[in-house]
Amino acid sequence: MKLKGTQILLQILKEENVDTIFGYPGGSVIDIYDELYRSDIKHILVRHEQGAVHAADGYARASGRVGVALVTSGPGATNTVTGIATAHSDSIPIVVFTGQVPTTLIGNDAFQESDITGITRPCTKHNFLVRNVEELAPTIKEAFHIARSGRPGPVLVDLPKNMMASTTEYDPSTVVIKTDEPLHKASSKKYLQAMDLLKDAKNPVVLIGGGILLGKATEDLRKFIEKTRIPVTSTLMGLSGFPGTHPLWLGMLGMHGTYYANMAISHCDLLITLGARFSDRVTGKIETFAEKANIIHIDVDPSSINKNVVVDLPIVSDLKVALQQINRMLDEQQFKLNEAERQVWLDQIDAWKQEVPLTYCQNGELIKPQFVIEKLFELTRGKAIITTEVGQNQMWAAQFYRYDNPHTFLSSGGLGTMGYGLPAAIGAQCAFPDALVVDIAGDGSIQMNIQEMATAIQYNLPVKIVLLNNNYLGMVRQWQELFYDKRYSHTDMMVTPDFVKVAEAYGFLGLRATRPEEVIPTLKLGLTTPGPVLMDFRVAREECVYPMVRPGGSISEMTLGTREMTN
């Protein structure tokens, strides 16, 4: 049958089971929006194109499906770049459709023309410019396939206006996807080597990254841990990949990781790394990272292996497939755990936990931000989907909220994008309308995309914002305190809006707590009130995130605020 380009686009979106698009209209996509008017696909009108991509990203992280954004050409397209780069850094499957001027005007500096494929080439998994309407259907199909397969990532499809208005024959049975990623299957020899290392290890640790979630391997991981009783630590992106209340959970490792996680990594004799890329925030000084350990690294992306840390046993594989194979071999070989030997290792870890627990001191008249997060966890019983902005608020959310269920911690890890949390919360809420979704924010980050409060109101999305308000760019200020003799150069944000009034202006319920005794009542009211709520917690201005590993230092050398710990 003959269809217009706009009709083909909407038809394929349905075939890909897309139920929600986050977007912002404009001249070059007006034909698409006219077609959307007659479609049953839900469209969420954001207030900035960056918000559209972050919302699609949050939708993808929470649901495990491909998120979709639609924007116009020129500035609409260029406004997506930060969101695309955020998704690229964290391997999030999204497809971004951008409008483009007609093909006859490309290269002529036409109104609202930009070379968005050239601009986004470094921060997309792949991108396309559709130059022929016959290419439209296979291109869109390939975009979704590429976004979700292998190591996931963002794909951009640039749609010239005349391609959308053109007609062509469309038969879904004839659409052929040309792009295919290689299926990596590790040899049985690799798994036998892994079993030998596992049997010989006395002090093993499992390190999980975001790949455990992207690979949908959390249940297989849990089975592996039950068989082997190996303690588990995580990168920031791996949080929620293993239950945070499990006795074998060590918390996050790295620059702001727990003391006992960093000690376990520094003293283990086997490190099993699953879907992590060994970023600098995780490893600290490379030469001293897990220097006593044999390292097994399992990852779907061969380019991630031996890139930052040289490992002893690389296994290129889908994580779910790899863990299922290892679990089968454990059963087939009737793996017998040396309980006494393992208990010695776990007792050592317990001693580290008692020596330096993850703690803070809530006293006096100042609200400690850690106290707010801790009480948020208790009141939600860990059942909320948490998104974060970036900075101190993000680290406290990582440290003091426990994530028992997969895909309940959504945060910008690799790029560290301020302004991510609120639109991501909107995306997660669209994916799960009945879930409790909370954005943990700072007063600096929230202002990056605060306009998306209007989006929440327009679509009655009951997102809750927990604002840790210290009138500083907190993480930069912390570095200035510790490493620049308290020269707070342009990090003081005393001139900020009254966030309660801003919330009310948008239509949110605005609440404020200024004393510790007000924290729990404010949280209770904010979490139980229907509809969107902003809770403004005026927290201790110069509170720092501890533990902290100094930049370039070993993760075994941590600053705890009042003392240094080296082991």
Say which of 255, 475, 535, 558 is annotated catalytic.
Answer: 475
Rounded Cα distance between 74 and 29, Å, is 11
CB 434 within 8 A of CB 24: no
161 noted as active-site residue:
yes
Rounded Cα distance between 365 and 362, Å, is 9
Say which of 125, 141, 161, 464 is annotated catalytic.
Answer: 161
Rounded Cα distance between 65 and 88, Å, is 16
3-state secondary structure 284-330: ECHHHCCCCCEEEEEECCHHHCCCCCCCCEEEECCHHHHHHHHHHHH
453 noted as active-site residue:
no
CB 297 within 8 A of CB 190: no
Residue with token string 């971004």: 96
The helix (H) or strand (E) run that includes residue 140 is helix 136-148
The helix (H) or strand (E) run that includes residue 355 is helix 339-355
49 noted as active-site residue:
yes
| Token pair for 332 | 């087939």
Say which of 49, 142, 374, 543 is annotated catalytic.
Answer: 49
Q: Is 148 left (phi over 0), alpha (psi -120 to 50) or beta?
A: alpha
| Token pair for 155 | 């794909």
Rounded Cα distance between 22 and 68, Å, is 6
Q: What is the DSSP string of 407-474?
A: T-EE---SS--TT-HHHHHHHHHHH-TTS-EEEEEETTGGGGSGGGHHHHHHTT---EEEEEE-SB-H
111 noted as active-site residue:
yes
Q: How many CB atoms lie within 10 A of CB 77?
A: 29
Q: Which of 56, 62, 130 is nearest to 96 (CA)?
A: 56
Enumerate residues 6+ apart whose C-beta is below 8 A from 310.
none
481 noted as active-site residue:
no
Residue with token string 């009783």: 229
Say which of 14, 111, 219, 341 is annotated catalytic.
Answer: 111
Angle, helix 81-89 to helix 49-63, in steps of 10 degrees: 30
Q: Catalytic positions, please? A: 49, 111-112, 161, 475
